[in-house]
């Protein structure tokens, strides 16, 4: 293995040497062939003849030499030099011939040094800069391409442990073996067991893959080398492979150690998957990574960890057993996981006594660790902006909505007519959502612009869901089309406010018919989506269908029928509840924001609360029996569940 590394490394160094020597040669040629006329050396007797004939000028008389200009046979003045003789009559002859001259001390040795030595010093300095300076260990020299850019973190400086990681208990359990092996390798070796060489962490962005890798190093107390996969690929072919070799060499010198490569798919994509093969430099880097994984044994105390959001595009040779043996999924956290993550981030924030992180966790299904950290941070910023002593529930709720839909834009001026259209549109979503059985509860409806939406209906599920039924999909389609149906019923005309709703409607309907087998006419079939393409090909180039035109026609008919029936159903729901619909529109125009409890009262789904003379809080057991906590248990907006006007105009 070692014998294979050095020749390639020498080839990269030789490239730098060749470039350096070419530069030195060019500089030497420039120095020795400077533009100008060559100085002619004259005999002293010839010089005297020129003086007598007045064919010299601008003489400089030094103790050892005489230099100046002389006239040649063509009548041109050229520089000359002659050795000075002991001639007392020279000055008189120059005066008689009216030749300009001046005396000068002999400084010719300085000129010789400048001309003959200075350029040597310059070339030596250039040679040092190109060849000796890159050998320094700081890795910052201009020609030091082969050095890895990985950052090494000393064990004594590692502060991240599993206490700082929450919401992924299964992943932490999978990584316990790595920690135990690095702490006590003999425990595994005496039974003949071998630890996996590579551990691949995969999951959605923001789930904490990088944080997990740092926590493993912190728990084990070993050196941690972290690098991004994109740092290996450079403009020169072979540099990526050399950096991979250098990274593993550094890890071996500091064993036991963990090597962590972030975004592995940057160099680990499937080879020869596109037109004309692939990227040569990226593939050479991948090949070298495969060789290094085969070249070290687990007894050396080196563990390679990597993270990716796209495990499906990785090369099969990279993720096979013997290389990345263990694949650890880092999913989005569940309810308990979100609460644990919030507790970790809330340690750095001063919370008011009434803040319940369990309620906040229920309000944020689908949020990953990065989203939850952003919620806590936004809440702290909002509280500080309002000069509060601590973060309150209102700050948390506002922070959740800011993460979901963006900040409020109360300064946006909207005409009364457009405001009525927006209110009717959003109430259409709200009424259909509350009158369908399988929809998520409505948390609030608002006509305050937030982000790109002029208004929004916030639906948040009561619990985490992993499966979606056909009835739930149908209700979702009705809710999406509720805003468009309300516009047509109230104003007799439609606007551009439903553009985002229509895009989502088409996506859901196509998914139901083509991928989930929810068409009674087509039956339980799943057809490839045209939106999916090859790894390295553009979608337009790779689009193809594996079914006939007749089947495509049936698919289109089923999709259109599903959308038409959902639109008709949405119109019927709004028409049947027109009185409550109009009242909710009026209240929304007056208050701008209507919460879940008031929505249910207006729609007749809930009795209005009796006026309270005191402020004694309700018994939580009674509230549980009556099931009246839609606003306290504010569920979450998943991808595509925010039915606001994302692009109304």
pLDDT 10s digits, 429-474: 999 999 999 988 998 999 988 888 888 898 888 778 888 999 999 9
Q: Is 77 helix (H, G, I), strand (E, B) or coil?
A: strand
Which single residue is written with the structure tokens 């595009």? 313
Q: What is the CATH number of domain 40-106?
A: 3.30.720.210
Chain centroid to Cα 584, Å, comes to: 44
Tens of pLDDT, residues 472-510: 999 999 999 999 999 999 999 999 989 999 999 999 999
Tens of pLDDT, residues 576-620: 999 999 999 999 999 999 999 999 999 988 777 655 444 344 444
The lowest-confidence range among 520-534, 586-600, 620-634 is 620-634
* Residue 256 preceded by cis peptide, ω within 30: yes
Per-residue buried b or exposed e for 247-286, using 16+ beta carbons within 10 Å of the residue's own CB: bbebbeebebbbbbbbbbbbbbbbbeebeeebeebbbbbb
Give the pLDDT confidence score for residue 63 in this predicted structure.
Answer: 76
The lowest-confidence range among 84-93, 269-278, 362-371, 603-612 is 269-278
pLDDT higher than threshold 50 for residue 10: no
Residue 273's pLDDT band, with cuts at 50, 70 and 90, is low
CA end-to-end span of the chain, whole Å? Answer: 63
The larger pLDDT score, comparing residue 193 to residue 164, is at 164
Give the pLDDT confidence score for residue 255 in this predicted structure.
Answer: 79
Tens of pLDDT, residues 71-124: 887 778 888 888 888 888 788 888 888 788 777 765 555 666 666 676 677 777
pTM, 2 dp: 0.67
Residue 68's pLDDT band, with cuts at 50, 70 and 90, is confident
Q: Is 40 helix (H, G, I), strand (E, B) or coil?
A: strand
Query: Are 403 and 378 in contact, with CB atoms under 8 Å apart?
Result: yes
The CATH number fitting domain 416-626, selected from 3.40.50.1820, 3.40.50.11780, 3.40.50.300, 1.20.58.760? 1.20.58.760
| Residues in a beta bridge with 326 | 199
pLDDT higher than threshold 50 for residue 639: no
State the DSSP H helix or E strand holding residue 68, giving kind and residue range, or none if neither. strand 65-71
pLDDT higher than threshold 80 for residue 223: yes
CA gap 426, 566 in Å, rounded: 17
Name the fold adopted by 335-405.
Answer: Helicase, Ruva Protein; domain 3 (1.10.8)
The lowest-confidence range among 79-88, 146-155, 183-192, 285-294 is 146-155
Give the pLDDT confidence score for residue 556 in this predicted structure.
Answer: 93
Sheet with 456-459, strands from edge to edge, namely: 456-459, 442-446, 593-595
- Exposed, middle or buried by CB within 10 Å (0-12, 13-18, 19+), for 155? middle
| Residues in a beta bridge with 260 | 226, 305
pLDDT higher than threshold 90 for residue 48: no
DSSP track, 261-283: EESTHHHHBPTT-BTTB--HHHH
Query: Which segments of 356-412 does DSSP mark as H helices, in order?
Result: 357-362, 369-385, 393-405
The token pair that represents 82 in the structure block: 């002659």
Tens of pLDDT, residues 311-330: 888 988 888 888 888 899 99
| Residues in a beta bridge with 274 | 277
- Within 10 angstroms of residue 311's Cβ, the number of other Cβ atoms is 18
- Exposed, middle or buried by CB within 10 Å (0-12, 13-18, 19+), for 131? middle
CATH 3.40.50.300 fits 151-329, yes or no: yes
Q: Is 69 helix (H, G, I), strand (E, B) or coil?
A: strand
Could you list the active site residues? 426
Angle at alpha carbon of residue 575, lines to 572 and 639, rounded to 5° = 60
Give the pLDDT confidence score for residue 133 in this predicted structure.
Answer: 53
Query: Are 78 and 36 in contact, with CB atoms under 8 Å apart?
Result: no
Question: What is the domain partition of the chain in residue ranges?
Answer: 2-34+116-135, 40-106, 151-329, 335-405, 416-626
Give the pLDDT confidence score for residue 198 in this predicted structure.
Answer: 87
The lowest-confidence range among 64-68, 410-414, 450-454, 500-504 is 410-414
CA gap 45, 82 in Å, rounded: 10
Q: How many CA atoms lie within 13 A of 542 on its CB side?
A: 14
């Amino acid at each position: 293995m070692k014998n294979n590394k050095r020749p390639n490394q020498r080839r990269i160094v030789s490239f730098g040497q060749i470039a350096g020597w070419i530069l030195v040669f060019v500089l030497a040629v420039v120095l020795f062939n400077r533009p100008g006329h060559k100085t002619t050396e004259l005999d002293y007797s010839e010089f005297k003849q020129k003086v007598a004939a007045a064919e010299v000028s601008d003489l400089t008389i030094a103790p050892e030499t005489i230099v100046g200009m002389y006239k040649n046979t063509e009548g041109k003045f050229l520089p000359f030099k002659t050795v000075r003789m002991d001639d007392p009559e020279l000055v008189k002859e120059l005066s008689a011939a009216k030749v300009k001259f001046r005396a000068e001390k002999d400084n010719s040795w300085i000129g010789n040094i400048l001309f003959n030595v200075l350029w040597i010093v310059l070339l030596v300095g250039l040679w040092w800069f190109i060849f000796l300076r890159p050998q320094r260990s700081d890795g910052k020299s201009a020609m030091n391409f082969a050095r890895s850019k990985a950052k090494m973190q000393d064990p004594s400086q590692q502060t991240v442990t599993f206490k700082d990681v929450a919401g992924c208990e299964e992943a932490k359990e999978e990584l316990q073996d790595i920690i135990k092996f690095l702490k006590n390798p003999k425990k595994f070796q005496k039974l003949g067991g071998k630890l996996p060489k590579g551990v691949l962490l995969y999951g959605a962005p923001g789930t904490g893959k990088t944080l997990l890798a740092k926590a493993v190093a912190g728990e084990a107390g070993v050196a941690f080398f972290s690098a991004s996969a994109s740092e290996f690929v450079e403009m020169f072919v072979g540099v990526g492979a050399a950096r991979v070799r250098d990274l593993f060499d550094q890890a071996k010198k500091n064993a036991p150690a963990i090597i962590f490569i972030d975004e592995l798919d940057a160099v680990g994509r499937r080879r020869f998957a596109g037109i004309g093969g692939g990227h040569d430099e990226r593939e050479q880097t991948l090949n070298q990574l495969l060789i290094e994984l085969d070249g070290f044994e687990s007894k050396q105390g080196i563990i390679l960890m990597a993270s990716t959001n796209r495990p499906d595009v990785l090369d099969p040779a990279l993720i096979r057993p013997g290389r990345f043996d263990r694949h650890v999924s880092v999913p989005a956290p569940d309810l308990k996981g979100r609460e644990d993550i919030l507790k970790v981030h809330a340690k750095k924030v001063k919370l008011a006594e009434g803040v319940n992180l369990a309620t906040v966790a229920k309000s944020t299904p689908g949020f990953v660790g990065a989203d939850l950290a952003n919620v806590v941070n936004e809440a702290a910023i909002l509280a500080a902006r309002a000069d509060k002593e601590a973060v309150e529930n209102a700050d948390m709720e506002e922070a959740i909505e800011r993460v979901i839909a963006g900040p409020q834009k109360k300064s946006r001026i909207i005409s009364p007519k457009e405001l009525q259209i927006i209110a009717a549109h959003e109430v259409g979503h709200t009424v259909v959502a509350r009158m369908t059985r399988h929809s998520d509860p409505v948390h609030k409806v608002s006509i305050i612009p937030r982000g790109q939406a002029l208004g929004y209906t916030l639906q948040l599920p009561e619990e985490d869901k992993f499966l979606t039924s056909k009835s739930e999909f149908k209700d979702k389609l009705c809710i999406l089309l509720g805003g468009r149906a309300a516009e047509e019923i109230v104003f007799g005309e439609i606007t551009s406010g439903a553009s985002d709703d229509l895009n989502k409607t088409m996506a859901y309907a196509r998914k139901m018919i083509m991928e989930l087998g929810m068409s009674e006419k087509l039956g339980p079939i799943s057809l490839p989506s045209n939106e999916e393409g090859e790894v390295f090909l553009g979608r337009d180039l790779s689009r193809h269908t594996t079914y006939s035109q007749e089947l495509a026609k049936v698919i289109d008919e089923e999709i259109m029928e599903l959308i038409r029936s959902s639109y008709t159903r949405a119109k019927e729901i709004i028409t049947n509840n027109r009185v409550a619909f109009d009242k909710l529109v009026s209240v929304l125009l007056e208050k701008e924001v209507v919460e879940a409890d008031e929505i249910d009262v207006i729609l007749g789904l809930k009795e209005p609360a009796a006026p309270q003379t005191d402020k004694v809080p309700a018994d939580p057991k009674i509230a549980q029996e009556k099931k009246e906590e839609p606003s306290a248990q504010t569920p979450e907006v998943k991808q595509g569940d925010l039915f606001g006007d994302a692009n109304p105009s």
